[in-house]
Amino acid sequence: MEEYKLMKGNEAIAEAAIRAGTDGYFGYPITPQSEVMEYLMAEKPHERTGMVVLQAESEVASINMLYGGAAAGKKVFTSSSSPGVSLMQEGISYIAGAELPCLIVNVARGGPGLGTIQPGQADYFQATKGGGHGDYNLIVLAPASVQEMADFVSLSYDLAFKYRNPVMILSDGAIGQMMEKVKFKEQEPRMKTPPDWATVGKPADRGPNIITSLDLDPARQERFNHKLQEKYKKIREKEILFEEIDCEDADYAFVAYGTSARICQKSMQLAREEGIKVGLFRPITLWPFPYEQVTRLSKKIKGMLSVELSAGQMVEDVRLAVEGKIKVHHYGRMGGMIPTPEEIVLALKKQIIGG
Amino acid sequence: MAEKVVNQEMIKPENLVYQKTKVLNDNVMHYCPGCGHGTAHRIIAEVIEEMDIQSEIIGIAPVGCSVLMYNYFNVDMQEAAHGRAPAVGTAVKRLLPEKFVFTYQGDGDLAAIGTAETIHACNRGENITMFFINNGIYGMTGGQMAPTTLEGMKSSTSPYGRDIPMMGNPLKMTELVAQLPGTCYVTRQAVHDPSHVRKTKKAVRKALEYQKKNMGTSFIEIVSNCNSGWKMAPVEANNWMVENMFPFFPLGDLKVPEEK
């Protein structure tokens, strides 16, 4: 019998990870995501599936543990929140450069600096434009519910191993902390055979497997960069996910992800009660960003409002997609503040309809 | 004529006393002539062959002069970010507990940027073997001051000698990790002459045997020269090391497991 559980988003990620056959979790406590490791430790996944859970000495250590575990061909993940994810950026760049599959969860909070512990979406640039050094991309998934927190774990592993690329779930403190009903998949077995590139000890019948992001020959390094770009192109062509709500008859659209998308659903309802036909476009993959889908929508409507818990980051991608053809503005709150549905409707009227 | 006969005797298989280990490949090493890395690599590789664990061992390379060590070893290897080899090795060993894991780092990597990872891996007692090549200088980047640069020692960022009040003290990392309950075997060795090479090789063997028995972290410092960075000829560098490095970094075991 299918059974719903009432859980926090952070706990749902942890439970989903055990069930997805994760081999190892390496993390460091930080609010508002500490429930991930707390849940894992309490659940004793070592007894349930043989999964390793280790509290590292820092986010720097945990991301490098991820590197080691992924390079050994294992399903590994870590979770943190904004300042901790900033610390991980060097390691994430190495992971992308060594083409290792893994999952990084960012339950984002308000910044910059130590910022606040309340929800934020100001890590969009860091997540989608490559927060570390070099030309690389993460696949970035943005859940908008506790159910999606759970569902995106196995999706992340599938994408990570399909493309040998790190995947980030970019959530926020609201989705991480709030409790909702969630239904889990059945327990998946842990992987039995490692991928052929993994460093697991060199048998006599093959040469050594080497995991590195270093090539001192610039011509070879450029060729490798081209190979990475080919991979990213393939991901852009095949893996875009998005949701459109009430866009068929819409004159205007909110563009929003995660917590902002949820608030916008209430704003849509309020606006429609006033006779303003507004829809919601919700990118689910923030990278690859659904440019073409936003372009297509922009041809049917008069204006778009990008609603974010930031000073306006995703709005740049919306503008790239719209190419100046219709009005695009941003409305957001920062530093852990969350807009009410009413103020978003007001912003739509002022900045898009009346502006 | 007699000479030729002797040579033929020498190359008979039964008279072979030394050959290159199969755990190293034939690539020409990039290390400076006189550097200790080549010898350290060779004895680690020889022990891997002698213990017959080539198919069961994963090595973690550092950033520094030995960043390309995976080009010479005939084993699966990962290249870690600067200072992070103990964290990388921790995960590999936790996820593949039946395999052997070794890390190999210089003084800048292990004792400066990676101090936290070193101490915490040792303190958790990760069942890995850590090799620490200490030549008192940043070799690859061109001879800058290292955490282990001696007082008064010149480097490109301490051109008038290490001034303790201004630049801080040289760090005895090996003494530090010997205090931690997670380490089972902590020793300081050198590879500048045959007798020390033999001693170091015995230490490498012990360390990997302890790993096999899951006894905790085994930590081997190898005091080495950097004749390029020290701006000395190889022999001169070795003599300088014996006279100046060894008094501050004395050789020998700092911690050995109790024999049961």
Q: What pLDDT, in 10s, does the model give residues B7-59?
A: 777 778 888 888 899 999 999 999 999 999 999 999 999 999 999 999 999 99
DSSP H or E run through B120: helix B115-124
Q: Is the peptide bond before A112 cis (omega within 30 degrees of 0)?
A: yes
Low-confidence ranges of chain A (pLDDT < 70): 1-2, 355
B75 has a pLDDT exceeding 90: yes
> What residue in B sits closest to A90 (Cα-Cα)?
B81
Grouping H, G, I as helix, E, B as strand and the rest as coil, residue A56 is coil
**Which residues have CB under 8 Å from B239's CB, separation 6+?**
none
Rounded Cα–Cα distance for residues A13 and A20 (Å): 10
Grouping H, G, I as helix, E, B as strand and the rest as coil, residue B16 is coil
Rounded Cα–Cα distance for residues B201 and B222 (Å): 11
Confidence band (pLDDT; 50, 70, 90) for B3?
A: low
**Which residues have CB under 8 Å from B31's CB, separation 6+?**
B37, B38, B65
**What is the distance, to the nearest Å, from the Cα of residue B167 to the centroid of all Cα atoms in its chain?**
26
Grouping H, G, I as helix, E, B as strand and the rest as coil, residue B38 is helix
Closest CA to A68 of B102, B177, B119: B102
Confidence band (pLDDT; 50, 70, 90) for B243?
A: very high
State the pLDDT at residue B258.
Answer: 84
Q: Suggest the residue from A193, A196, A212, A214 to mutate for an interface test with chain B (most B CBs closer than 10 A).
A: A212
Residues of A in contact with B54 (CB under 8 A): 202
**Which residues have CB under 8 Å from B221's CB, separation 6+?**
B132, B133, B134, B173, B174, B187, B188, B189, B249
Residues of A in contact with B74 (CB under 8 A): 202, 207-208
Q: Cα(first)–Cα(last) distance of chain A, in Å?
A: 53
* A26, A208, A212: residue with CB nearest B91: A26
CATH class, domain A242-353, is alpha beta
Rounded Cα–Cα distance for residues A247 and A228 (Å): 35
Closest CA to A67 of A100, A45, A38: A100
Q: Do B116 and A60 touch (CB under 8 A)?
A: yes
Rounded Cα–Cα distance for residues A288 and A140 (Å): 7
Instruction: Compute the C-alpha angle A298/A304/A306, nearest 5°.
Output: 125
The answer to whether B119 and B181 have CB atoms below 8 angstroms apart is: no
Residues of B in contact with A220 (CB under 8 A): none
Q: What pLDDT, in 10s, does the model give residues B170-184?
A: 999 999 999 999 999
Concatenated DSSP letters of A152-210: HHHHHHHHHHHHT-EEEEEEEHHHHH-EEEEEPPPPPPPPSS--TT--S---TTSPPPE
State the pLDDT at residue B18.
Answer: 82
Grouping H, G, I as helix, E, B as strand and the rest as coil, residue B58 is strand
- On the question of a common fold for A4-201+226-238 and A242-353, the answer reads yes
pTM: 0.96
Q: Is the peptide bond before B97 cis (omega within 30 degrees of 0)?
A: no
Q: How many CA atoms lie within 13 A of A301 on its CB side?
A: 30
Q: Report the CATH fold assignment for B33-145+165-255.
A: Rossmann fold (3.40.50)
State the pLDDT at residue B6.
Answer: 62
The answer to whether A314 and A283 have CB atoms below 8 angstroms apart is: yes
Rounded Cα–Cα distance for residues B118 and B109 (Å): 10
Mean pLDDT across chain B: 95
Tally A–B CB contacts below 8 A.
Answer: 126
Residue B68 DSSP symbol: G
Residue A17 DSSP symbol: H
Rounded Cα–Cα distance for residues A232 and A226 (Å): 10
The percentage of chain B sitting over the pLDDT mark of 70, rounded to a whole number, equals 97
Grouping H, G, I as helix, E, B as strand and the rest as coil, residue B35 is coil
Of residues A2 and B68, more confidence is placed in B68
Residues of A in contact with B67 (CB under 8 A): 214
Mean pLDDT of B178-196: 97
Grouping H, G, I as helix, E, B as strand and the rest as coil, residue B137 is strand
Please report, for chain B, the start and end positions of each structural domain, with discontinuous segments joined by +.
33-145+165-255
Burial A103-125 (b: 16+ CB within 10 A, else e): bbbbbbbbbeeebbbbbbbbbbe
Q: Suggest the residue from A46, A55, A59, A67 to mutate for an interface test with chain B (most B CBs closer than 10 A).
A: A67
> What residue in B sits closest to A72 (Cα-Cα)?
B92
Query: Could you tell me which CATH number the domain at A4-201+226-238 has?
Result: 3.40.50.970
ipTM of the complex: 0.96
Q: Cα(first)–Cα(last) distance of chain B, in Å?
A: 57
Confidence band (pLDDT; 50, 70, 90) for B1?
A: very low
Grouping H, G, I as helix, E, B as strand and the rest as coil, residue A79 is strand
Rounded Cα–Cα distance for residues B112 and B62 (Å): 13
Please report, for chain A, the start and end positions of each structural domain, with discontinuous segments joined by +.
4-201+226-238, 242-353
The percentage of chain B sitting over the pLDDT mark of 90, rounded to a whole number, equals 92
State the pLDDT at residue B260.
Answer: 60
State the pLDDT at residue B17.
Answer: 81
Concatenated DSSP letters of A297-336: HHTT-SEEEEEESSSSSHHHHHHHHHTTSSEEEEEE--TT
Mean pLDDT of B146-154: 97
Residues of chain A contacting B, Cβ within 8 Å: 23-24, 26, 52, 54, 56-58, 60-62, 64-69, 71-72, 74, 76, 90-91, 94, 98, 199-204, 207-214, 216
Rounded Cα–Cα distance for residues A113 and B148 (Å): 33
* B73, B89, B99: residue with CB nearest A68: B89
Rounded Cα–Cα distance for residues B146 and B64 (Å): 12
State the pLDDT at residue B13.
Answer: 81
Residue type, B147: P
B133 has a pLDDT exceeding 50: yes
Residue type, B79: E
Q: Measuring CA to CA, how many Å separate B218 from each of A249, B41, B68, B222, B227?
A: 69, 17, 23, 13, 28
Rounded Cα–Cα distance for residues A63 and A93 (Å): 10
State the pLDDT at residue B143.
Answer: 95
Q: Measuring CA to CA, how many Å separate A129 from each of A126, A286, A346, B171?
A: 6, 10, 31, 39
Q: Do A210 and B56 touch (CB under 8 A)?
A: no
